[in-house]
Amino acid sequence: MKFLLTGSTGFLGSTILKALAEEEVYTLGRQKCSISVDLKHLPKELVLPKVDFVIHIAGKAHVVPKTLSEGNDFFETNVVGTKNLLANLENGRLPKTFVFISSVAVYGLATGNNISENADLLAKDPYGRSKIEAEAMIIEWAQKHAVKFLILRLPLIAGLNPPGNLGSMINGIKKGFYFNIGRGDAKKSIVLASDIAQLIKNLSDNIHSGIYNLTDGYHPSFFELSINISKQLGKSTPMNLPISIASLLAFAGDFLGKKSPLNSDKLRKITSDLTFDDSKARKALGWNPTPVLNGFKISDTNS
């Protein structure tokens, strides 16, 4: 099999690239790639290699936009970049399958349990809306050109040195300033980067086109995650911050604005379940993930 992989230098992309080490893989990105180009400025006349699978991961994430310009950058990267890639592939280099790494952010939900792929797409933030637009574009393009497609909606991703909220949690526990709110029993969907990579490595021509949530199927709580991370770091279990105190801090944060690390909206998210249903992927793709609490390694040395 031949693969074209965008976003290969990122957290998930590098994990997938490692899993495909024995395959013929072309990487596309701004730097340290076999095809060095910015997708936002990808010329349609650029000749890309003919491949079986395109794995499109490149995109903007893990940043809360502070300005209109920063918000627009999500669309420039995630939508315009995807549009340019699809347009380029039309020049006689159509793959058999196009895999797009999307996000559960498209649902726009802060709470809920076992949310399925049939749920409405309610995202209002730039990141979630850019993913919704990119998904729709890919589906229309794939159907027009008889290309199979997989849209993988991912929750929090665990693996070596993870970015985003999980990375912040690890750093907080390492430095001793992380607290669980209340009992820390809110459950969140999470998935191992290595399991996503293994799924992509094992893709065949017989896959069923569609949209799929991927999770570890267990959905650990903040408390369980904090214990797991603390043990790996050799730290004591994080203290609990009573809900009453957290509520007062959140109330104050509502008046302080964006500078506050906690407000009522953030508190509601931290203390509420948010889990997604991956049964569709289990049936159609043979998805059989490892529970994150069993397979999560935060670094090579755990130091």
Ordered alpha helix ranges (H), 176-287? 193-201, 222-233, 243-256, 264-270, 279-285
Q: Tens of pLDDT along 102-133?
A: 999 999 999 999 999 999 999 999 999 999 99
Indicate the average pLDDT of the chain.
91
Confidence label for 68 from pLDDT (cuts 50, 70 and 90): low
Distance, CA of 139 to CA of 151 (rounded, Å): 9
User: Tens of pLDDT along 9-27?
Assistant: 999 999 999 999 999 999 9
Q: What is the pLDDT of residues 201-230, one digit of tens each?
A: 998 878 889 999 999 999 999 999 999 999
Q: What is the pLDDT of residue 62?
A: 62
Q: Which position has the token pair 């709580």?
A: 221
Map 36-52 to HEC letters.
ECCHHHCCCCCCCCCCC
Question: Does residue 250 register a pLDDT over 90?
Answer: no
CB 24 within 8 Å of CB 3: yes
Domain spanning 2-159+190-217+275-290: which CATH class is it, in words?
alpha beta
**Which whole number is the average pLDDT over 36-40?**
91
pLDDT band at 235 (very low <50, low <70, confident <90, very high): very high
Whether the predicted pLDDT of 83 surpasses 50: yes
Phi, psi values for residue 192, rounded to 5°: -80, 135
Indicate the pLDDT class of residue 59, thresholds 50, 70 and 90: confident
